[in-house]
Structure 1
Amino acid sequence: MSDVRFEPLDLDRHLELLHAWVTHPRSVYWEMQGASVDDVRAEYAKIAADPHHHALIGTVDGTPAFLMEHYDPAHSELAGHLVHTEGYVGMHVLVAPPADGAEPVPGFTDVVFAAVMQHLFDDPDVTRVVVEPDARNEAIRAKNVAAGFVELGEVALSTKTAMLSTCGREAFAASRLGGRHVTV
């Protein structure tokens, strides 16, 4: 069992770490490969100023380990692609790459993903989580399905062709990842 915590992104404290994560070669689908530190600051300052979009740093056993964003899909580029958005929350998650020279920890991403979903569903107003990964990102699409997401189909967004997917509370609870117990 891992102790997973969430805290608001603090650009003064987390900027260098965040920059390293979003520009890492494994984070290609985050679309910030060539971003400077100032570019990352500007992007996350926009998120901080948006009342419908929030960025959180996640720690696992006290160590910063992932970035999680949640947003209101009705106030996003997805607004025209969803029939119903009452109780829906959009989500992005980026698991930090392993430290230099370290091997990935088997099952670590499952722990993080399960904790993110649990954190979102801890809000009683949330009925469904929405994701829109790049349609070419087979790894995250498989992780989404393991968490109970249903792929609704591809949608053209401004920077990618996305696989629009949703997951209800019950589908997550019944999924392979929903059965994990994580201290949040």
Structure 2
Amino acid sequence: MLKDLVGPPPLPATDGRWQVTVVDPRSRDADLVHAWMNAPHVATAWDQAWPLDRWTAELTRQLGDEHSRPCLAHLGGEPVAYLEIYRVGRDRLAPLYPYRPDDLGVHIAIGAPGNTGRGLGRDLLRAVAEGLLATEPACTRVVAEPDVRNTASIRAFTAAGYRRAGEVAMPHKTAALMVFPRTEGDVPRW
């Protein structure tokens, strides 16, 4: 059973440029996530432009289980992005490719529109993937599954060192399976 094999997803080690913190739904964090998720550039990709009370409940739910850890990424002390770091084996992605028990996944949303198109996403994605691999030696790959139509996201993942391993059909989208491998042999083939 996966729960017996691995714990909740870890926070990535960071090099000091980026800081990643767990969201506190009782603080301003929930307001910030809610505002970002309702911004047009995020709402289109995430389809979670929910009211504040629903976001507060969602963040609280995530913190109560071992599937996903909601986080904020800070640059220079300022929050820049919302992240969800998750255990693939506990996710709906697991049956769609030959996952390994220690695979970790990441979702990312750059919050303010002024922070998009500047390479911050690329830098953050690389820092998070490298930090997760450093924190968890048993993990051999970090994955993501952006919608195949989200070309800007796929470009950012590619520029960050992720490889496009294929496509997976999810209930709400066809996704590009993006993989940041520890070694080339860790890119899934199927």
Output the TM-score relative to the length of structure 1. 0.81
For residue 90 of structure 2, what is the aligned residue in structure 1?
75
* Deviation larger for 88-97 or 161-170: 161-170
Deviations 1:104-147 (A, max 9, x none): 57332233222222221222222101111111100111111122
Unmatched segments (≥5 aa) in structure 2: 1-14, 185-190
* Deviation larger for 125-134 or 160-169: 160-169
For residue 63 of structure 1, what is the aligned residue in structure 2?
78
Unmatched segments (≥5 aa) in structure 1: 172-184
User: Residue 107 of structure 2 is aligned with which of 92, 108, 122?
Assistant: 92
Structure 1 segments (4+ residues) deviating >6 Å: none
For residue 177 of structure 1, what is the aligned residue in structure 2?
none
The one-letter code matched in structure 1 to 2:146 is P
* Conserved? CA contact 1:88–1:128, under 8 Å: yes
The one-letter code matched in structure 1 to 2:47 is E
* Deviation (angstroms), 1:19: 0.4
Counterpart CA distance in 2 for 1:82 and 1:166 is 11
- Kindly tell me: are residues 38 and 139 of structure 1, through their superposed partners in 2, closer, same or farther at Cα, counting changes over 3 Å? same
2:37 matches 1:25: no
Summarize the alignment of residues 75-154 of structure 1 with structure 2, pairs less than 5 Å apart: 75-98=90-113, 106-123=118-135, 124-154=137-167
* Conserved? CA contact 1:47–1:53, under 8 Å: yes
- Kindly tell me: are residues 104 and 160 of structure 1, through their superposed partners in 2, closer, same or farther at Cα, counting changes over 3 Å? closer
- Kindly tell me: are residues 162 and 69 of structure 1, through their superposed partners in 2, closer, same or farther at Cα, counting changes over 3 Å? same
Counterpart CA distance in 1 for 2:166 and 2:32 is 34
2:51 matches 1:36: yes
Counterpart CA distance in 1 for 2:116 and 2:86 is 29
* Deviation (angstroms), 1:170: 4.1
How many residues were matched structurally? 167
Counterpart CA distance in 2 for 1:118 and 1:153 is 22
2:170 matches 1:157: yes
* Deviation (angstroms), 1:72: 1.0
Q: Secondary structure at the match of 1:12?
A: coil
- Kindly tell me: are residues 36 and 110 of structure 1, through their superposed partners in 2, closer, same or farther at Cα, counting changes over 3 Å? same
Output the TM-score relative to the length of structure 2. 0.79
Counterpart CA distance in 2 for 1:25 and 1:87 is 34
Q: Secondary structure at the match of 2:26?
A: helix
Counterpart CA distance in 2 for 1:155 and 1:40 is 27
* Deviation (angstroms), 1:158: 2.2
- Kindly tell me: are residues 119 and 9 of structure 1, through their superposed partners in 2, closer, same or farther at Cα, counting changes over 3 Å? same
* Deviation (angstroms), 1:26: 0.7
